[in-house]
Amino acid sequence: ASPPALCPHGRTRDLEALLAVVRGAREFIYVSVMEYFPTTRFSHPARYWPVLDTALRTAAFNRGVRVRLLVSCWPHTDPSMFPDLRSLQAFSNPAAGVSVDVKVFIMPVGNHSNIPFSRVSHSKFMVTEKEAYIGTSNWSEDYFSSTSGVGLVVSQRVPSGRPGLLTVQEQLRRLFERDWDSRYAVGLDAQAQGQDCAW
């Protein structure tokens, strides 16, 4: 739970749970979030807060974990997020075995533009080969320190005798890959060349 002041005894703080999942990954980390800022968002002046950004970079560099980040892009997206996303993308170095890919997810508006705050992916989950994290917080400092939120970590195993059952981790991996491979997921280079955040 978050913020820490509201986390009762015996529960893991939301940020600690999330970081434990990142640290446990050995093959891949797929993240789908609405916002990603290695800073505060709502305090003035803003403060640098590299906790999650550093965890992803460390996983990619030190352990060779493949990192993919899918971030929502819509008319209300703060454009100051893009330099942070490009910085993370630039960390990728395939020749050195460092794999970090970033895309933005642009949900088509169609004839639904009159429905406010609806044509955006509000996803806030992460999946690795071992675990899934599903939360309520965007990835910036304020959400973990001063707003109420909760996260759930799942490490499910298929029960014997039920070989066709998909674990939560596998379902989220498939969901992530569906969105990542869809035409609505746009690389940062394409976004920089004039693709706005609304279709």
Quick one: pLDDT at residue 196?
Answer: 65
pLDDT digit string (tens) for 42-90? 888 989 999 999 999 999 999 999 999 999 998 888 889 999 999 999 9
Would you say residue 149 has pLDDT above 60? yes
Q: Are 105 and 198 in contact (CB under 8 A)?
A: no
pLDDT digit string (tens) for 87-108? 999 999 999 999 999 999 998 7
Place 183 in a pLDDT band, splitting at 50, 70 and 90. very high
CA 82, CA 36: separation in Å to the nearest integer? Answer: 9
Quick one: pLDDT at residue 141?
Answer: 93
23-27, 39-43, 120-124, 126-130: the lowest-pLDDT one: 120-124
β-bridge mates for residue 39, sequence order? 48
Give 163's DSSP letter: T
123-137, 150-164, 183-197: the lowest-pLDDT one: 183-197
Q: What is the SS3 assignment for 81?
A: helix
Architecture of domain 4-192: 2-Layer Sandwich (3.30)
Would you say residue 40 has pLDDT above 80? yes
147-153, Cβ contacts within 8 angstroms, sequence gap of 24 or more:
147/2, 147/3, 148/1, 148/2, 148/3, 148/6, 149/1, 149/2, 149/3, 149/14, 150/1, 150/2, 150/14, 151/1, 151/2, 151/14, 151/17, 151/18, 153/12, 153/17, 153/20, 153/21
Arithmetic mean of pLDDT over the chain: 89
Q: Are 53 and 71 in contact (CB under 8 A)?
A: no
End-to-end Cα separation, the chain, in angstroms: 35
H helices of the chain, in order, are 14-24, 51-63, 81-90, 141-145, 168-180, 188-192
CA 152, CA 1: separation in Å to the nearest integer? Answer: 9
pLDDT digit string (tens) for 27-37? 999 999 999 99
Does the predicted TM-score (pTM) go above 0.85? yes
The H or E element spanning position 152 is: strand 151-154
Q: What is the SS3 assignment for 167?
A: coil
Quick one: pLDDT at residue 12?
Answer: 87
